[in-house]
C-alpha cells in the first residue's frame, strides 16, 4: 500500500476510533496502544453498550487511561444501543430506549467535559414497524434538542451522522441531505447553532455516491461539517485497500475549508490494528500540528 501523500500532509489531523481499531485489546489498553502507534487523538462509540449510566469508577478508569497515554478524546457517541450490531441509535425509539438515551445525555456530556472532548455524536434510531415516522421524528427532535443543549453547556458540537442503507436498512438518515435537514431543525429549535454534520465518506460511498458525487457533497457541506470519518470501500478497510480516492477527497475537504479531525473508522483486517497504519506516515499521526 502506498504511503498517504495528499497535499494536506502533516496538516491533516487524524484520530483513531478505538471502538473499531485496537478492539483486540481491552478498552483501557487501547489509548496506550494508539499512542504507541504514534497517535495523540482518539474517538469512541459509547463504550458501555449495556448501560447509559456506567459506575463512576468505570468512567474514571477510562479518563485515567486516556490521560496516562497522553491521548486526547476528540469524539464520543452518546448511548446508541448495541454498536456494533443491528441497533442504530436510541433517541428516536419510543419507550425504554429513548429513556436510556435521556439518562445518558448529561453523563456523556460531563465525561466529555472531563477529558476536553468537543464533539458528541447522536445517532438517530432505526425505523420501527407499527410506529408512525412522524412520531419518531418528533421524539428525535425533542431528544436532540436536549443533547444539543448539553453539548452547548460544555462548549461542544452535536454531530448528526448519515449511515448507509445496505448495512443499516432501517436507519432513516442515509444521505447528506437528510442529515443536514436534521442539523437545521435542531439549530432552529435551540438557537445555539452547535449542531453539525458528521461526514462519513465510507457510509456515503456505500449509498452509491461515486467520487464526483462525494466531491459535490464536500463542496456543498464542508462549512456545515463538524467531523469527518473515513474507511475505504469496498470492505471498510484502511485507505488503499479499496477503490475510494480518499487522498483526493481529503485534499478537497481542506481546500473547501475543513480544518477539523478525520477519524480513522476502518477495520484492520486479519492483522493487529497497529499494523494497519502503513499508509499514513508517522509524522502525520500526531496532533501536535494543531
Residue in 167, 216, 259, 265 annotated catalytic: 265
Is 265 marked active-site? yes
| Residue pair 26/32 in contact by the 8 Å Cβ criterion | no
Phi-psi category of 70—alpha, beta or left, where left has phi over 0 and alpha has psi -120 to 50? left
Q: Which of 216, 205, 243, 285 is nearest to 21 (CA)?
A: 285
DSSP string for residues in 68-105 = HHTPEEEEEEPP-SSTTTT---STTSTTHHHHHHHHHH
The percent of the chain in helix, strand and coil, each rounded to the nearest 5, is 40, 15, 45
Q: Name the DSSP letter for residue 113.
A: H
Please measure the distance between the N-terminal and C-terminal CA atoms of the chain and give it in whole angstroms.
27
Angle between helices 211-221 and 246-255 in degrees, nearest 10: 20
Q: Which of 151, 147, 146, 127 is nearest to 137 (CA)?
A: 127
Tracing cell 456523556 back to the chain, one arrives at 108
Is 43 marked active-site? no
Residue in 24, 50, 97, 161 annotated catalytic: 161
Helix (H) or strand (E) holding 13: strand 13-17
Q: Which residues contact 3 (CB under 8 A, 6 or more apart)?
A: 278, 279, 280, 281
Paired strand residues for 13: 261
Give the C-alpha separation, 111 to 44, whole Å.
Answer: 12
Known catalytic residues are: 161, 265
Amino acid at each position: 500500500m502506498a504511503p498517504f501523500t495528499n497535499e494536506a500532509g502533516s496538516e491533516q489531523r487524524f484520530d483513531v476510533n478505538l471502538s473499531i481499531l485496537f478492539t483486540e485489546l481491552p478498552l483501557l489498553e487501547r489509548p496506550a496502544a494508539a499512542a504507541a502507534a504514534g497517535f495523540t487523538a482518539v474517538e469512541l462509540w459509547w463504550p458501555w453498550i449495556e448501560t447509559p449510566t456506567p459506575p463512576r469508577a468505570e468512567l474514571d478508569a477510562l479518563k485515567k487511561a486516556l490521560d496516562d497515554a497522553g491521548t486526547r478524546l476528540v469524539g464520543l457517541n452518546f448511548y446508541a444501543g448495541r454498536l456494533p450490531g443491528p441497533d442504530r441509535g436510541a433517541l428516536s425509539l419510543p419507550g425504554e430506549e429513548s429513556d436510556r438515551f435521556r439518562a445518558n445525555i448529561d453523563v456523556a456530556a460531563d465525561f466529555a467535559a472531563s477529558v476536553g472532548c468537543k464533539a458528541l455524536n447522536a445517532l438517530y434510531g432505526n425505523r420501527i414497524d407499527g410506529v408512525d415516522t412522524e412520531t419518531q421524528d418528533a421524539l428525535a427532535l425533542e431528544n436532540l434538542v436536549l443533547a444539543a443543549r448539553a453539548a452547548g453547556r460544555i462548549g461542544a458540537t452535536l454531530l448528526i451522522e448519515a449511515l448507509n442503507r445496505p448495512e443499516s436498512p432501517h436507519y432513516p438518515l442515509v444521505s447528506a441531505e437528510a442529515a443536514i435537514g436534521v442539523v437545521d431543525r435542531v439549530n432552529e429549535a435551540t438557537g445555539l447553532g452547535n449542531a453539525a454534520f458528521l461526514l462519513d465518506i465510507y457510509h456515503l460511498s456505500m449509498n452509491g455516491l461515486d467520487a464526483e458525487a462525494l466531491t459535490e457533497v464536500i463542496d456543498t457541506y464542508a462549512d456545515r461539517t463538524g467531523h469527518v470519518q473515513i474507511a475505504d470501500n469496498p470492505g471498510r478497510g484502511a485507505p488503499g485497500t479499496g477503490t475510494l480516492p480518499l487522498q483526493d477527497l481529503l485534499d478537497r475537504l481542506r481546500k473547501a475549508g475543513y480544518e477539523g479531525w478525520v477519524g480513522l473508522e476502518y477495520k484492520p483486517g486479519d492483522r493487529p490494528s497497529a499494523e494497519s497504519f502503513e499508509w499514513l506516515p508517522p509524522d502525520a499521526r500526531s496532533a501536535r500540528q494543531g
